Amino acid sequence: MTRSGTRSAGPLATATLLGASTMTIMAGATIAPSLPAMAAHFGEGTELGVRLLVTITALAIAVAAPLSGLLGDRAGRMRVLFASVAVYVLAGSAGLVLDDLLALQISRVVLGFAVAGVMTSVGALIGDLYEGPARDRMLGFQGAAMGFGGVIFLGLGGILAGIGWRGPFAIYLLPLVLIVLIPLALGGTRTAGAGGDSRAPAGPPLPLGTLALVCTAAFIGMIGFYAVPVQLPFLLAERGNGSPVFSGTMMAGLTLVSALTGLGYGWFAARMPLRMLAVSACASLAIGLGLIWLGSGPSYLGLAAVGFGMGLLIPTLSRWLLSVTPPRARGRVMGALTTAIFAGQFASPLILAPVISRSGLASGFLTASALALFVAVLLAATRPATSTSGRPAP
């Protein structure tokens, strides 16, 4: 650790937390390349049940995250992280042996519970172990790890799906190394034991207004962002570019921009007030979705703008909450943010479906752009809350 205000954990703890972060956002989509083969294996009429193997994970994460955060505050972040990684490996790799669709669906629900535990405990531990610019950089690195993890795991899933439909389930065995690293890297930290920070002074009250605002921004932001992976392949096909390779390349480019933005997040955080970073992220998301709506030419710039906006948004919202939340409640707050993120993912196609059915696919992107713009205006008009130090949040 360094002087107060710039606290940072050691390199092994940093590597462990970033490794755990790669397991989260793309956990459900890792098996997506094998879905057609799975539907063929389980037989006619199972297409919907097979698709649920991806979407049900996000719903389980959204439901379980608040409880996971509370458990981390009470029992200790490291313990929850360790247990969640162990369950992640078991539930995620269950497809290597299970041959019943219902049993697979149950395993995917359990996987969602595990991802919720990983996300909330990692987010809280970043707040516990890093401070000041070191925390800002770490949040950016976390976003980059999620982005690069998505690129790598989706690509690897596609390769393994070519071997057989069970192949992508082997990817969930990779976090076995974390079961060794977590107690080694985090076992001696102040927040690793039972109760986490629960023995610390009560401190300032939980800023519920800021929590509601930030979670609203995350929920609506993810509705807009998830319009891209869910709706873009259909829009490209409608515009004459329906090749799966082309769609995959476009999505990979978006994810790469988001990951690179995360790598540079510390630079942005040092030069812009926190609230204006959040406004800029939502504005970039709105502009990008609007450019996709305009047509195939502007869509390339639009995807870059969407990736840039998401690369800024999630680290900024996490940083905002950590700056105003007392240590004793970090798990619960990160649980609420995790719920908002994955609820937005799950709700995106449901909310945009009526617009698309009435006015076409392009109108769905225009609607998503308008929602992101609304959040940007809402954030710009909101006064910053008081930080845990008693000063206004930046």
Write down the pTM of the prediction: 0.84
- Give me the pLDDT at residue 7, please: 62
Q: Where are the domains of the chain?
A: 9-199, 205-388
- Give me the pLDDT at residue 203, please: 52
Question: Is 9-199's fold the same as 205-388's?
Answer: yes
103, 47 Cβ separation under 8 angstroms: no
CA pair distance 328, 170, nearest whole angstrom: 37
Tell me the angle at which helices 208-225 and 227-238 cross, rounded to the nearest 10 degrees. 20
Closest CA relative to residue 393, chosen from 209, 218, 261:
209
78, 121 Cβ separation under 8 angstroms: yes
The low-confidence residues of the chain, meaning pLDDT below 70, are 1-8, 188-206, 242-245, 247-248, 296-298, 383-394
Q: Which CATH architecture fits 9-199?
A: Up-down Bundle (1.20)
Closest CA relative to residue 367, chosen from 377, 376, 354, 380:
354
Distances (CA, A) of 135 to 130, 161, 298, 329: 5, 38, 35, 17
Q: Which CATH architecture fits 205-388?
A: Up-down Bundle (1.20)
Dmax over Cα atoms in the chain, in whole Å?
Answer: 63
Residues 6+ apart with CB under 8 A from 56: 28, 105, 108, 109, 112
Closest CA relative to residue 88, chosen from 179, 157, 154, 12:
179
- Give me the pLDDT at residue 1, please: 43
326, 204 Cβ separation under 8 angstroms: yes
Helices (H), 226-360: 227-238, 244-263, 265-271, 274-294, 296-324, 330-359
Distances (CA, A) of 277 to 70, 138, 371: 28, 16, 18
CA pair distance 63, 40, nearest whole angstrom: 31
* Residue 89: Cβ within 10 Å count: 20
